[in-house]
């Protein structure tokens, strides 16, 4: 197969940060890259929103300054619209690759015949890929599931390969399952054996033993929920030790600083809005402090986070003199 972004990067024995709506924004991608993720995919961007001039889509796909290996995920259900939206993202940011969302199981997305709903219509999915590939000058991949309400991933994967995708990421559940049961990696492996494009598996990977096993099958490995409040998982999968509680606290606080910096505006409430969107991650970070979820989900500022840390860990974050390595400004 001709060398491209995906074939080159997958030669590196590293896990990849999966796209997650509400989570894989610039601050979190930066942290995961620092801990060793191979690349980090953005949150999904609405192609229709881009075409209609909604600037939020441009903001969601925005790389941070000097972000390496930029992969932006786009979603949509109409071939022409997805192609136009992809072209807008390509011209705006010159990413290294674009990814088509065919895995989101949320009704808000599937109800518009987007996301995992495309698994029910291989021909339309293939046409979307075909037109997107023709609209940009970078490799195109797709992230999908085993199926929507039945397993038909091989049929869809072959259609997308024929349409021109350069890589496929497969979550080992159907959309109907959402996140219940166990991800079926053997099914992903079977699909890969019938394709010539690289295949990346996703679902339930939390240990180095799992990572090594799936890599030995020739699969790429993508981490989603396992990285929430745990960006150091990418180092752990390379054999690095888990951070101490003190180190986790410092990582969490740095994430909060990066988050507030990225979302800072002239609005006096911008820090409040930023902290609200980070609360679920903070719950994961401080899972070693049982009974604190309620407090964490009420935090509204960096000052309140510092007070929380002082209260439970007797650590003064002011004395640690936060060191945000590198500016997190837009490219």
Find the catalytic residue in 104, 114, 166, 260. 104
For 264, other C-beta atoms within 10 Å of its C-beta total 12
* Integer Cα distance of 146 and 150 in angstroms: 8
Which residues fall within 8 angstroms of residue 322, CB to CB, at 6 or more apart? 253, 254, 257
Burial tier of 268 (Cβ tally within 10 Å: 0-12, 13-18, 19+): exposed
Which residues fall within 8 angstroms of residue 99, CB to CB, at 6 or more apart? 19, 41, 71, 72, 73, 74, 140, 141, 142, 143, 169
Place of tokens 């054996």: 193
For 229, other C-beta atoms within 10 Å of its C-beta total 22
DSSP 17: E
**What sign results for the dihedral spanned by CA atoms 69, 13, 168, 103?**
negative
Beta-bridge mates of residue 330: 64
For 151, other C-beta atoms within 10 Å of its C-beta total 16
Going from the C-alpha of 9 to that of each of 39, 69, 249, 250, the distances in angstroms are: 8, 9, 31, 30
**Nearest alpha-carbon partner for 110 in 187, 39, 176:** 176
* Integer Cα distance of 287 and 47 in angstroms: 36
List helix spans (H) across 195-244.
Answer: 208-216, 233-236
Whether 260 sits among the annotated catalytic residues: the reply is: no
Catalytic residue set: 104
């Amino acid at each position: 197969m001709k060398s491209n972004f995906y074939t080159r990067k997958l030669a590196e024995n590293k896990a990849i940060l999966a796209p997650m709506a509400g989570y894989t924004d610039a601050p979190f991608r930066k942290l995961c890259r620092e801990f060793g993720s191979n690349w980090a995919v953005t949150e999904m961007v609405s192609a229709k929103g881009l075409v209609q001039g909604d600037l939020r889509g441009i903001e969601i796909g925005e790389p941070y300054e000097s972000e390496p290996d930029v992969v932006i995920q786009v979603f949509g259900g109409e071939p022409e619209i997805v192609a136009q939206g992809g072209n807008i993202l390509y011209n705006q940011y010159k990413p290294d690759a674009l990814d088509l969302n065919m895995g989101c199981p949320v009704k808000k997305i599937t109800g518009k015949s987007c996301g995992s709903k495309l698994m029910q219509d291989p021909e339309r999915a293939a046409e979307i890929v075909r037109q997107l590939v023709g609209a940009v000058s970078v490799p195109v991949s797709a992230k999908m599931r085993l199926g929507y309400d039945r397993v038909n991933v091989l049929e869809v994967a072959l259609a997308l390969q024929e349409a021109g995708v350069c890589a496929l990421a497969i979550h080992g559940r159907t959309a109907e399952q959402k996140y219940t049961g166990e991800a079926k990696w053997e099914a992903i492996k079977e699909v890969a054996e019938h394709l010539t494009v690289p295949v990346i598996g996703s679902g339930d990977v939390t240990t180095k033993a799992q990572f090594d096993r799936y890599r030995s099958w020739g699969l790429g490995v993508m981490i989603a929920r396992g990285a929430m409040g745990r960006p150091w998982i990418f180092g752990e999968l390379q054999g690095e030790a888990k951070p101490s509680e003190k180190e986790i606290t410092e990582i969490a606080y740095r994430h909060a600083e990066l988050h507030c910096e990225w979302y800072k505006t002239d609005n006096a409430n911008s820090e409040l809005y930023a902290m609200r969107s980070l609360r679920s991650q903070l719950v994961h970070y401080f899972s070693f402090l049982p009974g604190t979820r309620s407090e964490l989900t009420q935090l509204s500022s960096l000052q309140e986070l510092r007070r929380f840390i002082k209260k439970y860990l007797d650590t003064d974050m002011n004395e640690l003199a936060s060191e945000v390595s590198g500016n997190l400004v837009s490219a």
